[in-house]
Amino acid sequence: MERQCWINQAIKPVSQAGVALTDHGLLYGDGVFEGVRFYHRVSFLLTEHLERLFQSAKAICLELPYSMDDLHQACRDVIAQNDLMDGYLRLVVTRGSGALGLDPKRCETPTVFILCDELKMVRDSAQSGLKLIVAATRRMPLDVFDSQIKTLNYMNNILAKIEANQAGADDALLLNTQGRVAEASAANVFVVKNGALISPPSSECALNGITRRFILELAASLGIECVERPLSLYDVYHADEVFLSGSGAEMLPVADIGGRRMTACPGPMFKRLKQAFDERVQALSEA
């Protein structure tokens, strides 16, 4: 059965969605997006994702034609029309169709659509431990573009992923222009050292990921010391554990970075947090 999508208030097969070739989201990457997991047909942290979607849209002067409640219902509708118990929603808002040229005034009505599908970030064999490289591509600095805005233009991250592919790795760490760790190509970074859970703050050009925030809150509730501070590559290489998090990635342990084997993979902290994460997801499905 072909996957169904939601586009401008209509449910359609993906092949019939019909986004215009003159849409500025396609032509210029002019738009914003969110990725949302759902488990047992219930969206996970959807309100938080929608809040960030509206914040990203406001940051680029893009007014959504739908309310938060409208998009909550749209997500429920598109899940109901697809035969997946667990999956992934991609919410996209573009500037809409308009004449050629960068000027946003040429676009009259935003295009809003929601895709519903399965998502695998890495091969099955990598679930027990990722191989990473350190990308030559640097994360864009905050004085160029704020990393908190989730725009459709992800070329910075895509170039890092291309480097990982060419090196035969699963993913890449991106450094900021000061040479400190920012994030992976589509995930946040955590390290564990001496019993503390450490993650770079958003001031290091890392997206303040919603799954990241959830994990920090989860860890704090378990009595784990949580620290947000800059991380050098030395800090990462000498960590007791390293793992990635994201809506797409969920939680994935790291086994190797640039040929350096991690001390433990998956380590005891990762296992404890992953079990607690899975219990929260299970509780959601039973609510």
Q: Mean of the per-residue pLDDT values for the chain?
A: 95
Task: Give the pLDDT confidence of 6-49 residue by residue, as tens digits.
Answer: 999 999 999 999 899 999 999 999 999 999 999 999 999 999 99
**Number of folded domains that form the chain:** 2
Domain shared by 20 and 159, yes or no: no
CATH of the domain at 112: 3.30.470.10
Domain shared by 133 and 242, yes or no: yes
Q: Which residues constitute the domain of residue 65?
A: 4-117
Domain shared by 146 and 11, yes or no: no
Please report the pLDDT score of residue 286 as a whole number: 65
Q: Which of 83, 117, 151 is the last residue of a domain?
A: 117
Please report the pLDDT score of residue 128 as a whole number: 83
Q: Residue 237: which of 156, 80, 132 has the closest Cα? A: 132
Annotated active-site residue 150? The verdict is: yes
Q: With 0-12 CB in 10 A as exposed, 13-18 as middle and 19+ as buried, what is 78?
A: buried
Please report the pLDDT score of residue 285 as a whole number: 67
Please report the pLDDT score of residue 127 as a whole number: 74
CATH of the domain at 209: 3.20.10.10
Domain shared by 131 and 262, yes or no: yes
Task: Give the pLDDT confidence of 196-235 residue by residue, as tens digits.
Answer: 999 999 999 999 999 999 999 999 999 999 999 999 999 9
CA distance 20 to 27: 10
Please report the pLDDT score of residue 271 as a whole number: 97
Q: Whole-prediction pTM value?
A: 0.94
Residue 138 token pair = 């640097």
Q: Which of 150, 193, 271, 274 is catalytic?
A: 150
Q: Which of 117, 139, 169 is the last residue of a domain?
A: 117
Low-confidence ranges of the chain (pLDDT < 50): none
